[in-house]
Amino acid sequence: MAQIRPRISIGNVEKGIVITFVSEKILEETEIVALEHSIVPIIEQAEIPNIVLNFENVKFLSSAMLGLLIRMSKKIYQRNGQLKLCGINSKIFEIFKITRLDRVFDVYDDTDAAVQSIA
C-alpha cells in the first residue's frame, strides 16, 4: 500500500512554527492520519510547541480533521505551548461556530496576526 504524504508546508518563525495546509480538501481519513503522523512529531520535538496552523488554502474540511485539531491542541497545551489557527474561510468557520470550536481555538485572519499573538 502506498504511503500517503500530507501536503503541508512547515516554516519556523521567531516565536514558533507555522504549518500551512497546501491541500484544498482535507476529507479522507488516510490523509488525516498522515497529517497526524507528520504534525504530532513536530509538537513533541519542539522545546515549547507554539504552533500556527494556516488554513488559507483549505476549502473543505471533514469532521475527522476537527477531531485531530482537538487532539493536537491537548498535546500542545500539555507541553505549555500555544496553538493558533488562521486563514479559515467563512464556510469552514461556520462549522467552528456551530460546534463551538470558535470558543476553544484562537482563530486569526492571517499568519502575521496569529504569530504576533503568541506570548
What pTM does this model have? Answer: 0.93
What cell was used for 105?
481555538
| Cell 507554539 found at | 50
In this prediction, residue 7 has a pLDDT band, given cuts at 50, 70 and 90, of confident
Domain boundaries, the chain: 8-108
What tens digit of pLDDT does each residue of 17-61 get?
Answer: 999 999 999 999 999 999 999 999 999 999 999 999 999 999 999
**pLDDT greater at residue 7 or residue 24:** 24
8-108 maps to CATH 3.30.750.24: yes
| Closest listed residue to residue 64, CA positions, set 33, 108, 109, 95 | 33
Quick one: which of 39, 24, 35, 21 has its CA closest to 76? 39
User: pLDDT of 75-118, one tens digit each?
Assistant: 999 999 999 999 999 999 999 999 999 999 999 999 999 999 99
DSSP reduced 3-state for 76: helix
Q: Reduced to 3 states, what is the DSSP secondary structure of residue 12?
A: strand
Within its chain, how far is the Cα of 45 from the centroid? 16
